[in-house]
Structure 1
Amino acid sequence: MTRGSTDTAFAPAKVNLTLHVTGRRRDGYHLLDSLVAFADVVDVLTVERGDALTVCGPFADGVPTDDRNLIRRALRLAGTPRAVMLEKNLPHPAGLGGGSSDAAAVLRLVGACPDPAALLSLGADVPVCMTPRAQRMRGIGEILSPVPMPPLHAVLINPGVALPTGRVFAGLATTDNRPMDALPDAGPTLDWLARQRNDLEPPARQIAPVIGDVLSALREAGADIARMSGSGATCFGLWPSRALADKAAHELTLSGWWVRACTLI
């Protein structure tokens, strides 16, 4: 990279199509079994020489630009300081892994590939975000395996409420739940997905009942499956085509919530 040159990368939204909480370690970390996909709805990062972080975009408010930001921590881990412009298009916190995806994107931009333990030190979602395609994520986020999956057409909705992840996990009735069913050889089908869960959805709905309203709106708009992503509050619905997802998103935009049609890969 020459002085004054820039480089750009996309940080896609991470969507937990399933999220089964299967145990808890003695150190307090929860064990997960989750099918993760990534949407064509993205934050945009541009890097150049320097050592400053600036943030713009519709969700710039509230994004720290000091060492609390995972981008700065990721660059320090890689030993490659850069000036970064972050266009924040994804709501936060939202259950979409936005900060982790941003950190992974900047590591890819600077050509850094820290070991898994170092990535986990940034956050449990950072390892899966390093390779933004469909994966099964187990353990505390370090056991990853690619999953064949056709494109899925979805609508994402965030109702604008922030859910503290720790509080959601603390509301679990049990941390010893069954893992996902065996994945079909050709990849997940809608029937298979419908039989899986997000174990964090019930405690999240207790904290933020509006999540139930979002899920009902998605179902009423014709979603084949409606479920919360991650620890919330973003929810997704699946449709059989992008055209139908686009139509549903247009109708659901009238709710006043953040609504985006997307394709998951």
Structure 2
Amino acid sequence: MVKLAFGDFGDSFSAASIKAYLAEFIATLLFVFAGVGSAIAFSKLTSGGDLDAAGLVAVAVAHAFALFVGVSIAANISGGHLNPAVTFGLAVGGHITLLTGFFYWIAQVLGSVVACLLLQFVSNGMSIPAHGVSGISAIEGVVMEIVITFALVYTVYATAADPKKGQIGIIAPIAIGFIVGANILAAGPFSGGSMNPARSFGPAIVSGDLSQSWIYWVGPLIGGGLAGLIYGDVFIGPYEAVSS
């Protein structure tokens, strides 16, 4: 059962909420800077060559490490979403209101765009690689993103959002980082392995290539929503959603 709650402006503009938005902006900026930066670094080291197996592993590891850190540094302030699909999945399960989640989205997307602008500047104008499908159709790319984002948000629920999970401490950000790295290894050659609309939208904006950006909104949001719905209903069960 969907537990969406709209929320109110008072809560969404409280001091705690403003701090949460800032935390999401900073953490997403740092995550995208490291993740996209690893792809730019590979391009520089290989004189613009295509991403090979070694490069794929390096990019996956960079994203896993950066997300582990990003979730860890923002967890106590904003929950450490860093991803509109995670925010949406948690909203479906009643863990955050739609209104507050919308401002999370703005902070996450702005963090990604600023990170890519900084990368373009510090790399002396090197091109920012944007996500796009390779060797598969757009619909197949959407399905790929649905599956891997489902895995990510399901992991978020299992390790961080389940009220019955007990004290697992640092395990949550480690598990979240690991599933992202593993999914990039599996999906990187096909869809890019985004799982994150903000991670894809920032490079698309800065590179000026928005032709396939819809894939990385539709797929991850469906996958994240399904994970929130299934884990929330089957494994958490009935509980009171955030107040509206």
Q: Place the TM-score, normalised by the shorter chain, in its bin.
A: under 0.3
TM-score scaled to structure 2, two decimals?
Answer: 0.24
TM-score scaled to structure 1, two decimals?
Answer: 0.23
Higher relative contact order (CA 8 A, sep 6+): 2
Task: Give the greater-gyration-radius structure (CA).
Answer: 1
Greater per-residue strand proportion: 1
